[in-house]
Structure formats: C-alpha cells, structure tokens
Amino acid sequence: MYWVNAVVTMMLLGAPAEDPRGEVQLSTTAGADVRLSELLRGRPSLIVFEDRESIAVNQHLKDALAGLRKSELLARISVVSIANVAAYDYFPARNLATRAIKDTEKATGVPVHLDWKGAMTRPPWAFASQGSTVVVVDRGGALKFSRCGKLEPREVDDVLALLASLSEKK
C-alpha cells in the first residue's frame, strides 16, 4: 500500500513519468544519480549509447546535431548521450573513465551520462554492449527508430526528419 501512495503522491506533485520501457539509473560525470525518464522529459528523444571503442562510429550524426545547435529542433527534443562504462566500474579505472568523459563533455559541450551497471544492455532496452546504438523515442517513450552500428548518411537525414516530425506541436 505504501508503494501505491508513493506513486499517487508523485503523480500529484508532477514527478517525471515513469519510463514505459523500464526505469534506468544513470550517473553524471559529477557523480549525481539521474533517471533516464528525467532525461527524456516527455519529449521526443534521441538516445546515443556507445562504448569506448565506438565513439567515432556515428560522428557524422554528432556533427549534424552540432550544426543544429541554434535551431528550434534542438530546443524541442532531448538528446541523451550515454556511455557504456560497465567494464570500468572498479578502482582506479572508474576514476580514469570519468575523467576522460569529462574531457569529452568539455570539448563538445554535450553532457554524457554514465551507465556503470550495464542497465541499458538489459531488458527492456537490451542495447548491444559494444558498438554505437542510436534510438529515437516519441513523447511517450515508444520506440520509433533503432539502429546498432554506423548510420548511413540517408539514415542520419531520416533520424533528423523523424525527430522534427515528432517534435511538431500537436
């Protein structure tokens, strides 16, 4: 009964909606915990999940997003970058990985969230633990696009067009 009361209280207080695909706990490079649903914020969202060896696989998608920095599209969507750092969840590797990702954040101006426990590689998301996975979800969290591996230039255009379409005011 306590759980039901807590859920009703959260709904009344306007807490973020639960992620329909399953709640995932991530971390910021500053060490704060953050839920994936908080990052999605009820907006159409682009999720990019990568391991260390795959950072450059979809660089052309990242470049296209960087070119849109001052566009209205980026103001209407959420872009969630997640690093699969489960393999580095031990001392001293954890500190080294965090420092390297902080450097990436500083260079790109894009926050990177850390998946230390491999939560994104387990159901319901079940992303590949290696490689680059690009996913688009709608406002309700429904999957609209998913691809593991390098996107072709046409697919980058399709992803951006899909995000634009999903973000139009209804």
Tell me the per-residue pLDDT of 53-108, one tens digit each, with 9 for 90 and over: 999 999 999 999 999 988 899 999 999 999 999 999 999 999 999 999 999 999 99
Give the domain ranges of the chain: 20-167
User: What's the confidence (pLDDT) of residue 21?
Assistant: 55
Specify whether the backbone of 132 is left (phi greater than 0), alpha (psi in -120 to 50) or beta: beta
CATH code for the part of the protein at 20-167: 3.40.30.10
User: What's the confidence (pLDDT) of residue 8?
Assistant: 31
pTM of the predicted structure, to 2 decimals: 0.86
User: What's the confidence (pLDDT) of residue 54?
Assistant: 96
